[in-house]
Structure formats: C-alpha cells, structure tokens
Structure 1
C-alpha cells in the first residue's frame, strides 16, 4: 500500500473479519444444505462434515481475530440448530450462541450478527422454504426468539446474507451450477424427505422466493427492533460492480436485474452491507468476459479489488444509508495476491471516504479457510489457514499485513 496516500480511519471505523455458521461450525445435520450435500446426485463437490469445528473451537477463532487488532467480528447464528423442529427451540443452542457473543465482547469485538447465511432448518425447506407465504412470519419468529435470548449482546444485525443471491445466479450462470444438475439434486432431496415442496435459498426460483424474502426482511427488522430499538439492522447485498462498455450498453438493465426490489427495501433499513468480489462487464452485445490476459482468482472470476469503489458508490447513491463493507476478499493459494487485493480494496474505500461517503467498516471474508458451498474445501479465502484433519489454525502473512494497517489507525 502507498502509505503516503493513506488517511486516518474515521472515528469508530470497524475492522474485522467474517464467518458463517454452516461454513465453519461443522455437523449442521438439521439444515437443508447438509441434506443437499449428501444427496445422490449432488452439485456439491464434497460434504461439509466437520468443517473447521468452530462450534467447539470458537474461542480459539475469536482469539485469532482479537489478536489481529480487529474491533468487530461478523458471526452467523444457525437457525437449524436453534429450531431443529418447527416450534421447538433449543435452549442449549441459544445458550451456546449467547456464550459466543459474550466471548466476542470480552475480547473487544463488536458482534455483527447474521441471522440467515443461506441455510435453513430441514423442516422449513420441506414445507417449501421461502416460496411459501408464511415463511416470512416463521423467520421473524426465529429472529425474535434469538433477540429475546441474546439481544442485549447484538451490536449490529443482518437478517439475511446477500438477500439478492438468486438474482446473481440468474444474471451470471458461470457463478452457479447448471440448472439441470440442480434440479436433479433437489429431486433427490424431495424423494429422501418425502416432501415435493422442498426448497433451498441458493437454488430457489427468484420469482417465487423473492417476494417472501422481501417481507421477511421487513418483518425481521421489526422483530429485532421490538426487542432493541437501538440495534442497527442492515440489508446485506451481493454487489458486484456492473461496468458498462461502449455505446448503448445495457448496464442499467443489468443493475436492475441484479437488485430488483432490494434497493428500495434498503432505504427502509439502517445500513447497507456491501459484499463485493469482482466486476461484471457489459456491452451492447451482453455480458463480456474479462479482457484477455486479466488476472483471475482461484474462484474463476477476475481479480478486481477496485470493484469495491463502484459498489460503495452505488449503495450510497441509490440507497443512501451508511455503508458497511461486510465482505471483501479473494480466493487464492498465493497469499501475496491476498495482500495485494486487501491493499487495493482499502484504497477503494479510502477514495470513497475522501469523496465524503459514509463508509463505516472493512470486514474481510473470511477469517478462516472454510467450506465454500458447492466448491467444497478447494477454495481458500481465509486470513487463517485451516488443516481440515487436525483443525490446526495457522495465521497467514496477509492477516499480519492487515493487522499492521488496523493498528496504524490509517486507511
């Protein structure tokens, strides 16, 4: 990073890393995704299994985050553990997550709590997931129960992770598995459960799922506020930077396709969670591949940390609420490229701050190498390496590099 161009980070700026429950905890056996991973056929390269065993090793993980000088941590609360059967809430699971939030506070880490990070209880998926109208009420009930148990410890709340994820998959099929393979997997899950309505967030049709999720976002906002009016509740979006090329490009149509009603919903929330990994190029002839010779990440998309600048600005201009960067990161086995990515992403944040945009966090995805959904364990986004046999954690140079920036107080 060019230190001569740095500026002091705003007072109260949040530095941290993120995890999700299913991707790190392990053995989330009552979830819809656990069933899909183990279906025959499946689009998942491998099952999540023990993951990082973070359900038992969360104190070690929080120590790592605190040791890097972070002042916040984004954590997931797993619905399938808390409500493993409809209407049956586990006091033990609620106590577990309360202890986790207490441990974050004890280490000076403000909890940013995600109530749903793609996974749902199996019973919920079997009744049709978010394709069923009353699903919004059931999700809001879950959020209310969590807040009643540990709301005093929640500093920031995100009902959904990337509420518009189905729109990203519909827009850019190269980010997703083919429709036929998904259909076969879902059919297997329906046979296994005897439920013809089985539906899972990541693979649900946007036209059926989205209206219910919009209502669920609003109802969960109200449920969280009913317990604690002072907790900021945000909207997390996947916000890849849509860049138009040449005359008559349909960039605005692509933007509308990616966000649908969510920009309007965001104006009703307290902040926008921006989650950006790359850019999308679009010309008059449609979506374009990255320019010849572009550096590609281990996940197969273009290395473009500067995309964060475009998405922060779009959130600022079209939603108008404070911006929290709730995910920014790179899949790579070359940690020097992670260092470069972080530096250039932070430069993008700095430019937005210089322009007067209210940016309040930089949260790196992810604290740990973890289970990356259909790609399994082959993709590594972590600041910390995980040995999936011994569960040993090893801090990477990129983590130390980010920690030095945090401790400098500069961005």
Structure 2
C-alpha cells in the first residue's frame, strides 16, 4: 500500500541534528576543549535550538517532517563523573515534550562525536574496555530510564566509522590522532559500544536503528600512468572493507571484522537493530597514495572538499539491499553542504529532488526503505567549518529556504 507520491504508508519523513551543533559545545566536553585549543571555530550557542526548539519543531511538522533525530549530549547530562545535571535533564525532557506536542516523533542518539572530558580523557574513552563496559553501559541504561517515555526510537551511536576515522586517522576531531593502529582499535571499540547500547535499549518498546556513514568507494588515478591503477584499486578495496565490511559482516554473520584487528565472534550482533540506517553525502575516490579524492573525477566540490553525487545514494541502497537482504533500510541523513555566504539553495533543491526520486525508484524496485531524514532542518554549526557551511532547509534567522518547500511537497504529496 503506497501513497500517491509512491512512498509506503507510514514512511518516515524527518530531519536530523546533534545537540552540539544546535546548542553549542558543553563546557566540560572534549569538543569544548578542542575549541579552547584553537582546533575548531567557536560553536557558541549553536543555531539557537536550545531556545527556539518549540517553534523549530512545529515548523518541521508544518513541512510534513514529523520525525526528528537529535542527540542527548552525555557531556551536558553528566558533566562530571557520577553527577547528573538536573537542569540539563529537565531541558531535554522539555524538548522531547515539545516534540510530542508538535506531533514530531523523536529518535534519540546517545553519542554524536563529542564526549564528557572525564570519560574521554580520564577514563580512556571507548577504547578502554572497562570504561566502555562500565561507564558507557551505565549511561545508556540511565538514558533509557530517564527519557524512554518520551522517545520514539533510538539511534545510539552516530557513524562509528566516520567518528573513528576523523578522531584517530585524519585527526580532524578529538582526540586528534593520526595512527592507523589506534584507528582500528577505536573502530572496533566504538562498534562494540554501539552494540552494547542496542543490547541495553532493545528491551523497551522503541525501535532501534543504526547510523553508518556510507559512500561508494572507487579507485582514482592519473590516466597517463597505468602503474597507479593497481595500488589505487588495492587501496579502494581496503577502504571499502572499513566503510562497509567492518559492520555489515557483524550484522549479517555475527563476526566483527575490523581490518588490522583479529576477528571477534559476537553471535548476538547478527540480526541486531530493527532498522539499518545510513547517512549519505558523496562518493569517495581513493588514490594510489591512499589519498581521499572527489568522485566523480572533475566534479565540483562543496565545503567538505568532496563532490555531492546523488547517484551514489542509489548505489548505497542497492548494495545494502544485497548485503543485508530482508532488512528494512532508513536514509538516516542525506543533504548537501553549500557555502553560507553564497546561499546557493538552488543546488540544494536540485540535489534533494534527485535524491528523493532515487529513493522512490528504489522502493518501486522492491527495496524496503522506511524513511528519509534530511540533514538538517535549521542551518547549524558544522564542526571544523563553524558556521561557514549551510546544510539546512531553514536559515538560522528561521526563514525557510525554497528547499523547505521541496521537502514539504515530497513529504505531504501535495
């Protein structure tokens, strides 16, 4: 049974955001320390969602975007070990209550790139098995008990591969490492933390959904030097094993296989999560020197330094359906970044139209896609780019862009 616009009844139309990007870095978080050290622009109060949340959520609902993913920031809730901030608890409960009153179903994320300083620095973070199994597990349990009555669903850890890669391989976010072995160890640990969160949260009534950053991976080399071809292909296979294989095999076969680490059998991982969610922004070209390059070659690049390519969304949907058959899929993030100063929303309109047409086509071909979450609702803080990059349907002054009407037309079928 489908609606007139070709999407199934109950299809989830939504937006996604994180607490840090919309409310600023908590003072005792590792990201706040990162800003203090001059490693990223100041986030300040984010895009003002901490004050404007009721009207923002109502505006999303008016567009037909009745699902929203936000994060419950651990560093805001437990800034010091064992001491919860009751004001922060009441603040998040007020946001969740406002969402319910606006008719917006909230999907809660427990970790979106920043951590309490005490956990990241003093306890060793996710890489420390004791910290992960004790402090993280205790936090997940507490969040479930504290907010579960107001949450529609859980998306526990945002993009384990991207988080590990940015933190321990490229060094662009805390802890700022560039160490291949540390990256592999971190990725394994974060995937285990995501599994532990699913294990603890699955007993409730709310559905659980993964969020993995996915992109097609292609070898790229200079056409006038064929000697580069095989190294580029080998590097692309290696990166593909990380981006796709490290977690897909776990969800399919119960084997956690992170390249560079011994395989771990975790039978309970097989079939875990109710929904397979992923974020998509671009395809990735890999050079013979293991450099990350835009793909398609020669395409215009955006603020992230890579080329938005809507057709890659189709590649991801088809591959997921093949790798994890009979598992429902959610496009948990999809959007395009433009330079704020240029305010090029025409590009966003075209890209959104293309991605939604691709999603509709995948559904028509039998791929079980349950939802599409646009990143993001209101322009926000974009990590190392600060406020120079825009991803929103709505500007920070709360004026809607033409792309908001594109989203509305698709979401409502009118």
TM-score (norm 2): 0.83
**For the residues of structure 2 that align with 1:160 and 1:202, how far apart are their CA atoms?**
22
Quick check: 1:331 aligned with 2:352? no
Q: Which residue of 2 aligns with 1:318?
A: 323
**For the residues of structure 1 that align with 2:194 and 2:329, how far apart are their CA atoms?**
18
Q: Which residue of 1 aligns with 2:255?
A: none
Q: After the TM superposition, which of the residue ranges 112-121 and 260-269 deviates more from structure 2?
A: 260-269
Could you tell me which runs of 5 or more consecutive residues in structure 1 were left unpaired when the two chains were aligned: 1-5, 187-198, 387-391
- The one of 349, 356, 359 aligned to 1:346: 356
- Count of residue correspondences: 373
Whether contact under 8 Å (1:167, 1:257) holds in the other structure is no
**For the residues of structure 1 that align with 2:90 and 2:23, how far apart are their CA atoms?**
16
Whether contact under 8 Å (1:79, 1:115) holds in the other structure is yes
Shift of 1:254: 2.8
Whether contact under 8 Å (1:165, 1:202) holds in the other structure is no
Could you tell me which runs of 5 or more consecutive residues in structure 2 were left unpaired when the two chains were aligned: 222-228, 252-270
**Could you list the per-position Cα deviations for residues 280-332 of structure 1 after superposition, in whole angstroms to 9, with x for gaps in the alignment?**
23588866544554232233211201211111222222234211111000111
Distance 1:202 1:347, change over 3 A: farther
- The one of 186, 192, 195 aligned to 1:215: 192
Q: After the TM superposition, which of the residue ranges 120-129 and 310-319 deviates more from structure 2?
A: 310-319
Whether contact under 8 Å (1:26, 1:54) holds in the other structure is no
- Residue pairs, 1:234-253, within 5 angstroms: 234-243=209-218, 249-250=233-234, 251-253=236-238
**For the residues of structure 1 that align with 2:82 and 2:125, how far apart are their CA atoms?**
15
Whether contact under 8 Å (1:168, 1:258) holds in the other structure is no
- The one of 219, 240, 243 aligned to 1:255: 240
- Residue pairs, 1:140-179, within 5 angstroms: 140-166=137-163, 168-169=165-166, 177=172
Distance 1:203 1:330, change over 3 A: farther
Shift of 1:253: 3.2
**For the residues of structure 1 that align with 2:111 and 2:177, how far apart are their CA atoms?**
10
Q: Which residue of 1 aligns with 2:113?
A: 118
Q: After the TM superposition, which of the residue ranges 274-283 and 118-127 deviates more from structure 2?
A: 274-283
- The one of 275, 281, 293 aligned to 2:285: 281
Shift of 1:215: 2.2
Q: Which stretches of structure 1, 4 residues or more, deviate above 4 A after TM superposition?
A: 166-173, 199-204, 244-248, 282-289
**Could you list the per-position Cα deviations for residues 95-130 of structure 1 after superposition, in whole angstroms to 9, with x for gaps in the alignment?**
221221121121111111111111111111122211
Quick check: 1:91 aligned with 2:65? no
SS in 2 for 1:66: helix
Distance 1:201 1:121, change over 3 A: farther
Quick check: 1:384 aligned with 2:394? yes
**For the residues of structure 2 that align with 1:300 and 1:344, how far apart are their CA atoms?**
21
Whether contact under 8 Å (2:161, 2:242) holds in the other structure is no
- The one of 59, 64, 74 aligned to 2:59: 64
TM-score (norm 1): 0.83
